[in-house]
Amino acid sequence: MEATRLSKAIVRLARLAERLRGPGGCPWDAKQTDQSVKNYLLEEAYEVLDAVEKEAPDLVCGELGDLLFQIVFLAQLASERGEFELADVIERIEQKMIRRHPHVFGNTKVRDADEVAANWAKIKESEKGSNEKKGAKALGEVPLALPALLRAHRLCERASKMNLGLAGMVDPIGLVEEGLHALKKEGKGDLRPEVEERIGWGLLGLVEAIRLRGKNAEDILRKTNQRFLEALEAVEKELREQGVEPAKATEAQLLAAWKQINARVAKAEKGHEVEKKQ
């Protein structure tokens, strides 16, 4: 890492944001507020996520830049109000990371990553003032704006660090099965509130069961969403090759096309497995 290049680049970006907001700058940027920028911040964060999943380094680099600019811009807005500056943001996170890693920057000894996570939770708890929420109430600090599956994962994760893990009180798979059973019994009509609640607990159980196996339900569903889109495009192509307009396809034609696509995918995956073994 070139320290001089890095420091100069950060300063240039901060000054760029300042100029955009200043006299003779950009009218659009001058009108922005924290409330308007927050939507762009979220959008850019998801674009970084997409780029990471595509495993495209150049795209990741560009999207990280877009996200960084939103952070710099928000810091500029705060600076104009005399609240804090970008340097304060950087220094505060630096101090926090040093404080949260006593096994690196101090004399604390740890056995493994699990102990690191446990220490992190203890340090975070000790950093809270007397008026801060503690215990289970502190879980409410997990942002409501997070996608529901991701928030459920974080809630389960943090609860487990407090010895309040869902799996310690109930079988997560059992919750999933109860939710599915309730859904099957309900049929295809509107769901009753009590059935919705059972399904909700089932979804939470599924999130916890996946978490306990080292994965995140949000990541899994996001990848499946993309595969679903690709499958739909393949189904459309298959139908059109058969001379069938997708919008007018019968249920039998849709099912046949779906099975045909799944058979091709299964064959391709089997071929990849054979190649790996060779």
Residue 157 belongs to what domain range?
A: 141-215
Whether residue 101 lies inside any domain: the answer is no
pLDDT digits (tens, 9 = 90+) for 15-38: 999 999 999 999 999 999 999 998
Instruction: Specify whether 14 is located in the same domain as 80.
Output: yes
Tell me what pLDDT residue 126 has: 83
Whether residue 114 lies inside any domain: the answer is no
Q: Which 3 state secondary structure label does DSSP give 192? A: coil
Whether residue 132 lies inside any domain: the answer is no
Alpha carbon distance 166, 121 (integer Å): 18
Helices (H), the chain: 3-21, 27-31, 34-53, 57-80, 86-100, 102-105, 113-127, 148-161, 172-186, 193-212, 217-241, 251-277
Tell me what pLDDT residue 277 has: 64
Helix axes 86-100, 57-80, angle to 10 degrees: 120
Whether residue 20 lies inside any domain: the answer is yes
Tell me what pLDDT residue 278 has: 60
Whether residue 110 lies inside any domain: the answer is no
Among residues 37, 53, 84, which one ends one of the domains? Answer: 84
Among residues 56, 84, 112, which one ends one of the domains? Answer: 84
Q: What rounded mean pLDDT belongs to the chain?
A: 90
Tell me what pLDDT residue 258 has: 92
- Half-sphere exposure of residue 21: CA atoms within 13 angstroms, side-chain side: 18
Whether residue 43 lies inside any domain: the answer is yes
Domain count, the chain: 3
Tell me what pLDDT residue 143 has: 87
Tell me what pLDDT residue 98 has: 96
CATH number for position 67:
1.10.287.1080
Instruction: Specify whether 80 is located in the same domain as 7.
Output: yes
Tell me what pLDDT residue 248 has: 93
Whether residue 231 lies inside any domain: the answer is yes
Give the number of other Cβ atoms within 10 Å of residue 236's Cβ: 16
Which residues of the chain register pLDDT less than 70? 129-134, 271-278
Whether residue 257 lies inside any domain: the answer is yes
